[in-house]
Amino acid sequence: MNWNVRITALAATALLLAGTTGCKQLAARDQLNKGTQAYKAAQYEEAINHFERSIALDPTYPMARLYLATAQSQQVIPNVDTPDNLKLAHDAINNFKLVIQRDPRDLTALKQIASINFNIRNFDEAKTWQKQVLQVNPRDAEADYTIGVIDWTQAYRNAVTILAADGIKDDGEGNAKKSKDDCKKITDQNTDLVKDGLGYLQNAVDINPNYEDAMAYINLLYRRKADMECGNENARKADIDAAKKWTDRAMGARKLNEEKRNNAQPGGVDLGS
């Protein structure tokens, strides 16, 4: 074959391949747009189908993977342990992990993985991923708050389980009538959780001084701290007093936040009338 002819043939082939690739990319973006429209209409299964087609057409298109995982996460039902729900949760997590492989600092993917693990009660994993969020953004108050909530959830579960074994219902005031053995068990299981949770929640309040939900959980963690003041009645009362002060702070912050929301709404209700 004449060399010039070969060059022409190769160029034509390259153009054909480029054209095919370009067509696939355009088709991938079309599927992405259709998936986005379905997602906005809360038609998540349809959105998932479009995003999967977009990825099949252009596996290098990063937004399609992120949108697919997001749509899948919307289908996960919190606190439901059915095989289908757990499979959907893990599919979403795996797709978010693929996003992170391309960009380890993608906060959306990091937060979503943490949130999904929280929703399926995989608390230790949820804490691990929230800590990765904080590595990227140390001033993410929501991540601090969520870790504190998980610590309280685990501490509460531990205390209630131990007390229930002796026929005691948690009174939220330190359970002064529990046995020394129960107090030791609670202390052994909850000391690190309470300390850790109070630290992260305090960070959340330091970042956002009107973080009412964080204040409410500090109150709850002080009540768990009161469980561990074995035989020290003054310390137990001090913890409960601290808990009540944080409740008052939370109520004050809630009032301020409501006032800000009302003032920010144009044409809001005139309370004077």
pLDDT tens digits, 151-203: 999 999 999 999 999 999 999 999 999 999 999 999 999 999 999 999 999 99
- pLDDT of 5 above 50: no
Cβ-count burial of 41 within 10 angstroms (0-12 exposed, 13-18 middle, 19+ buried)?
A: exposed
Give the per-residue pLDDT at 134. 98
Element (H, E) at 191: helix 180-207
pLDDT tens per residue, range 213-241: 999 999 999 999 999 999 999 999 999 99
pLDDT tens per residue, range 96-144: 999 999 999 999 999 999 999 999 999 999 999 999 999 999 999 999 9
Distance from chain centroid for Cα 182: 33
- Residue of higher predicted confidence among 9 and 221: 221
How far apart, in Å, do the first and last CA atoms of the chain sit? Answer: 92
Give the per-residue pLDDT at 3. 42
Mean pLDDT of 247-265: 92
pTM for the full model? 0.82
